[in-house]
Amino acid sequence: MIMLLSLNITNAQTDSVCIDIASKSVVWLNTDNVENLCLKYDKAVAAKLSAKTTSYIWKQIESQYGDFVEVDTLVVSASEGSLIVDQVLEFKDNYLKYRLSFDSENKISGIFFIPYRTAAAALESTKIFEETKCSFINDGIEFPSILCTPKKQKSKAVVILVHGSGPNDMDETIGPNKIFKQIANKLAKQGIASLRYDKRSYLAQQAKLDGKLLTDINHIVVSDAIAAAKFAYSIDSLEYLPRIIVGHSLGAYLAPRIALLSANVDAVVMLAANARPLEDLILEQYKYLLAPDGYTKAEKKEIKAIKKKVKNVKKLEKYIARGKTVELPLTNDPVFWQSLNEYNPLSTISKLQMPILIMQGGRDYQVSREDFRIWHSNVVNSINMDQTFVFYSSLNHLFIKGNSPSYPQEYNKKGEVSEVMIRDMADWIKSIWDSNYSEPKLKRKVTHLRKG
């Protein structure tokens, strides 16, 4: 629930007056006449929600859900002395429930915007796939998880979704976008089950971990992904199915290590995987983000400082040996950077004897086409014959389609993970196993360029 403001209220209201205000409020919001709406606030709401803030909230909603279309439904109810008016608002890309609560003087005492699915959409989704809450234990930590399975057909395989950097929840929520939830639901429609789980650093952020968080890559990513794959193997309905690690960003970068160290992984899918060291990408990203208007003096100074931090990562072992503390990019945690320095993804992936799929978006500024090229040029020379590389010219780092260069602001807009990309992934997974799921079929090395 997106709760903007909720305050206590009392006693009887006039239904027709409140309904009229609620109906007009949608028009006021959509025409940017929010001053009219603000006049209807009670004193407590007015003190906390200005006209400027109200206008900003509506614009943010439209940036996520698309242009407002119409009011789909209006429902009136009473709750603890409040009159509640709910309206289901249809936007171009989705629906949203808009709730106003009124006090005894017909003044607005609470405003809520609540994510909403139509009954038809909810019914359709339940016909296609099923999501079941579950959990697994690793290092004494319980990881809340969701098992998503197709409902109309037997699962052909199960994927374990491994997050990118940062404290990600099981849906890999980025702005209004739930990347892993979308991938899981769309794969289920293709007959492929999935397991997604809250990342260890997310649990730590939510104060759900006892003790200090260990920040090397094995603890924050690799070990838990291996445990998740093992857990998937223990589920009766999935026991004999092939298990595929599907990593995104940092999770894709570390997918070769996860697969190499696990006895329960049969294939690897790498979404937006960097082949170069992370610190090099951070410098490249800074240059990209500051470049459009040319570098100011301050920005040049900032880039110089980042370059120094990147060099510090390269020489980190020497600094640690001397007991010297230095500034590092992204995080000043030397344990994290030291563990990354000890990992070589290219040599690791060359040891894998399993199918590999590498997918890359052409508008991705975080992991670029150069990384895709490096993977391709190195992996095709390995002894593993089962490799596929797919490049999508119009997709960003989240695999969401667009026409213009990608920037961080784009992540704050609601979008859909590419159906083309997910269908390609599902087709690849289904194509590499025989009908009895026993042994993967050997394929040629394949490269695809898709507009996707």
DSSP per-residue string spanning 283-352: HHHHHHHH-TT---HHHHHHHHHHHHHHHHHHTHHHHHHHT-----SS---HHHHHHHHT--HHHHHTT-
* CA nearest neighbour of 248 among 200, 188, 183: 183
Enter the tokens of residue 355.
Answer: 């199918």
Read off the pLDDT of residues 290-310 as tens digits, 9 standing for 90 and up: 877 777 888 888 889 999 999
Read off the pLDDT of residues 413-426 as tens digits, 9 standing for 90 and up: 889 999 889 988 99
Topology classification of domain 2-116 = Nuclear Transport Factor 2; Chain: A, (3.10.450)
Read off the pLDDT of residues 143-169 as tens digits, 9 standing for 90 and up: 999 999 998 888 999 999 999 998 999
pLDDT band, very low/low/confident/very high, at 442 (cuts 50, 70, 90): very low
Residues 183, 147: contact at Cβ < 8 Å? Answer: no
Read off the pLDDT of residues 231-277 as tens digits, 9 standing for 90 and up: 998 988 887 889 999 999 999 999 999 999 999 999 999 999 999 99
Give me the residue spans of the domains in the chain.
2-116, 122-279+337-450
* Rounded (10°) angle between helices 119-128 and 179-189: 60
pLDDT for position 284: 92
Enter the tokens of residue 268.
Answer: 């690897």
Average confidence (pLDDT) over 39-49: 91
Q: Between 283 and 93, whose confidence is greater? A: 283
Asked if the model's pLDDT at residue 80 lies above 70, the reply is no
Q: Using CA atoms, how far apart are residues 21 and 38, in angstroms rounded to an integer?
A: 11
Percentage of the chain with pLDDT > 90?
Answer: 52
CATH of 122-279+337-450, one of 3.40.50.1820, 3.40.50.300, 3.40.50.2000, 3.40.630.30: 3.40.50.1820
Read off the pLDDT of residues 167-205 as tens digits, 9 standing for 90 and up: 999 999 999 999 999 999 999 999 999 999 999 999 988
Asked if the model's pLDDT at residue 405 lies above 80, the reply is yes
Least confident of 198-212, 297-311, 395-409: 198-212
